A = this chain, B = another copy of it.
Amino acid sequence: MSPEPRELLKNTGLRTTAPRIAVLEWLADHPHATADQVARGVRAKLGSVSTQAVYDVLHAFQRTGLLRRIEPAGHPARYETRIGDNHHHLVCRRCGKTEDVDCVHGAAPCLEPSATAGFAVEEAEVLFWGLCPDCQSAQRSQP
């Protein structure tokens, strides 16, 4: 389904290394994972990988457009491989759980602010804040 990690790396001009492949594989299975979760996942596959390596890999992927980083206020950043389709996110205020939401207003939605104040706008980011199902029930038991 998703393109082979090795292929992806080659096409992007990045060297193929074990950590990179592992990161791609993990993120394919676990979208919206945090850097820490990625690190654990990768270590589970490869034995030991330094934290720095994970961050470097994530940065390289971001730079080359293989990955998108979302950084919800008050929560660690999360990474996803679904890119280029301008979708948005639901974020749980309590636990940070993140889900995709397709764009409401067609393809490029709120992409055009009414007045740009001279800014060169490149991207519109839409975050829906709320409580995920789990945290809703947790809230009910102990408010």
Q: Give residues in A with beta carbon < 8 Å to B.
A: 69-71, 73-74, 77, 88, 90, 92-93, 99, 101-105, 109-110, 112-133, 136
| List of B residues within 8 angstroms of A133 by Cβ | 117-119
Q: Which residues of B contact A77 (CB under 8 A)?
A: 73
A113's partner among B104, B110, B117 (CB-CB below 8 A) is B104
Q: Nearest Cβ in chain B — how far from A64, in angstroms? A: 18
Closest 10 pairs (CB-CB, A-B):
A71-B73, A121-B130, A118-B133, A101-B113, A119-B130, A123-B129, A125-B127, A99-B117, A120-B131, A120-B130
Q: Is the CB of A123 within 8 A of B128?
A: yes
Other-chain residue from B119, B120, B125 in contact with A126 (beta carbon distance below 8 A) = B125
Given contacts A71-B74, A126-B126, whether A110 and B104 have CB atoms under 8 Å apart is: yes
Contact A110 B118 (CB under 8 A): no
Q: Is B119 a contact of A132 with CB atoms below 8 Å?
A: yes
Contacts of A117 in B (CB 8 A): 90, 99, 101, 132-133
Which among A88, A113, A124 has the highest number of chain B CB atoms within 10 Å? A113
What's the Cα separation between A89 and B67 when bound, in Å? 24
Whose C-beta in chain B lies nearest to the C-beta of A134? B118
Known: A120-B131, A129-B123. A88 touches B73 (CB 8 A): no
